[in-house]
Amino acid sequence: MYRVVPGRRRLLFRLISTFLALFLLGNVKAQLCNGSLGDPVVNITFGDGSGNNTGYTPTNAYTYTTSQCPNDGFYTITRSSSGCFSGSWHTVTADHTGNGAFMLVNASYAPGDFFITTVSNLCPNTTYEFAAWLLNILNRSGIKPNITFSIETAAGVVLQQFSTGDIPETFSPTWKQYGFFFTTPANNPEIVLRMRNNAPGGSGNDIGLDDITFRPCSSVLITSAIQGNSTDTVNICDDVTNTYTLNGSVSSGYVSPVYNWQVSTDSATTWTDIAGATTLTYLRTPTPAGAYWYRLSVTEKSSAGIPACRIVSNYVVINVHAKPLVNAGGKRVMIMGHGIMLNGVVKGENPVYYWDPPDYLSDSKITTPIATPVADQKYTLYAVSPYGCYNQDTASVKVIAGIFVPNAFTPNNDGKNDSWRIPYLDPVLGAEVNVFNRFGQRVYHAEGATVDWDGTFKGLPQAPGAYVFNIHFKNDYPDIKGTILLIR
């Protein structure tokens, strides 16, 4: 008998672990699908938990329940499971993608099928990848799930099978993807997907199932690239008018290939065929700001109308970044010796911004500095994003010796001096302006706004005569009081 010494035992354990790992989806893919894949043509996600989705179990084999903790021989469709069986199950708060529901199965005592569904409209004589995500929900030692996936014709002819082996318990809930490849028959019958639990129920053998997919697989390698760029991503600004040429490459294997470039504006969630983009080269013209993902899809001419037959390339990305939004705040009026705040606004993708010139500013690198120039001055607010997208705007500061208040106006609608206005009283000063009639009643009020009194109160014209006004400043500038004459 060969004796395994401790060091060799560890080495043997690693070798066995590596061998078992070859059965995982990624390694099986590498061995069997050495070309390109298409989008999932079947994608069973079990929804968001609002519906039961009860049509996937064999008749009389399992019973649906709304409980998050189904008993032996029961299953549910849920977004979460917590506190089940005195805490012997993991607390699961979401499916494997984190935003939907999953199927939760507590195995029956007798091994057997626990999931069956029929798939149609696949392409004939085509290789497909099957994949599914599984979770051993038990958090302690117990009966381990052991699943056999079987792809069959409606008549029961097995096209391909794959077994997971025992799925071990994990310290925390861990979703793992399993799968394999199979080829559809030439006559393209309906395909039956069958999942069999090889272990008995009882203490353990509790399974989470999610995201079952079928994707076409080709031995042909399809690639796409941005001409003149060493990477698959380009960042540009929305004022760039450059065009970009996208090049596709398809290794030999197609008899009469049909090409179509596709674009996605939601990070590859959905794809749209680009009209007229049906050659290996696509000239991209300027677009508004946004993220644009491109790829090349290929299929045989005989199957061009069947999306399930399409194989696609890797994607390339052109990110069009909007230049920063810059508003310097417009014209400002400053009373000599008192200063004025510049009301700049900058928005965008983390832009760097500054005022120029920095002279007589409290801080040239904030959007609202205090300006104290000694004479009229223009200030430009510049902003540039991390992608080099640039914008600017200019504000002007007029320096005055003081506030001049007109002492009369004639609201007779002749187009001349029809309202009482105070030139250069900048709203940014936040001044409070009140006008009172001879009875002490306030007939006009403005605060932090342009002063413009038309001689009315509550919509009624006021009598001619003298009115008292008061202008109160919130800073250290002294109040201004006086009278104005309303002439009709």
Rounded-to-integer distance, Cα 212 and Cα 208, Å: 12
Domain boundary among 400, 425, 451: 400
Residue at 425 is within a domain: yes
Residues 81 and 152 in one domain: yes
Check residue 53 and give its pLDDT: 59
Provide the 10 A C-beta neighbour count for residue 161.
14
15 φ, ψ to 5°?
-65, -40
pLDDT tens by residue, 33-59 = 667 889 888 888 888 766 555 667 766
Rounded-to-integer distance, Cα 480 and Cα 468, Å: 11
Domain count, the chain: 4
Check residue 120 and give its pLDDT: 84
Rounded-to-integer distance, Cα 179 and Cα 26, Å: 9
Residues 39 and 81 in one domain: yes
Residues 425 and 452 in one domain: yes
Check residue 287 and give its pLDDT: 96
Q: Is 31 left (phi over 0), alpha (psi -120 to 50) or beta?
A: alpha
We report the CATH number of the domain holding residue 376 as 2.60.40.10
Instruction: List the chain residues with pLDDT less than 70.
Output: 1-34, 49-55, 58-60
Check residue 5 and give its pLDDT: 37
Residues 154 and 95 in one domain: yes
Residue at 2 is within a domain: no
Beta-strand relationship, 460-461 and 456-457: antiparallel
Domain boundary among 400, 432, 451: 400
Q: Report which residue type is found at 137.
A: I
Residues 331 and 394 in one domain: yes
Check residue 337 and give its pLDDT: 85
Check residue 55 and give its pLDDT: 66
We report the CATH number of the domain holding residue 129 as 2.60.120.260
According to DSSP, residue 434 is labeled: E
**Cα angle, residue 265 at apex, residues 262 and 268 outer, rounded to 5°:** 70
Domain ranges, residue 456: 408-486
Distances, alpha carbon 101 to alpha carbons 53, 79, 104, 238, 289, in Å = 10, 4, 9, 39, 34
Residues 259 and 378 in one domain: no
Question: Which run of H or E residues covers position 15?
Answer: helix 6-21
Residue at 1 is within a domain: no
Residue at 249 is within a domain: yes
Residue 357 preceded by cis peptide, ω within 30: yes
Check residue 125 and give its pLDDT: 84
CA 334 to chain CA centroid, Å, is 45
We report the CATH number of the domain holding residue 457 as 2.60.40
390's CB contacts (< 8 A; 6+ apart) are 237, 323, 324, 382, 383, 384
Residues 307 and 187 in one domain: no
Q: Give yes or no for a contact between 119 and 214, defined as CB atoms under 8 angstroms apart.
A: yes
Residues 60 and 208 in one domain: yes
Residue at 3 is within a domain: no
Residues 163 and 265 in one domain: no
pLDDT tens by residue, 210-253 = 999 999 988 889 999 999 999 999 999 999 999 999 999 998 87
Residues 76 and 198 in one domain: yes
Check residue 32 and give its pLDDT: 47
Residues 334 and 293 in one domain: no
Rounded-to-integer distance, Cα 226 and Cα 240, Å: 16
pTM of this prediction exceeds 0.85: no
Domain boundary among 262, 290, 321: 321
Residues 108 and 31 in one domain: yes
Residue at 8 is within a domain: no
Residue at 134 is within a domain: yes
Residue at 348 is within a domain: yes
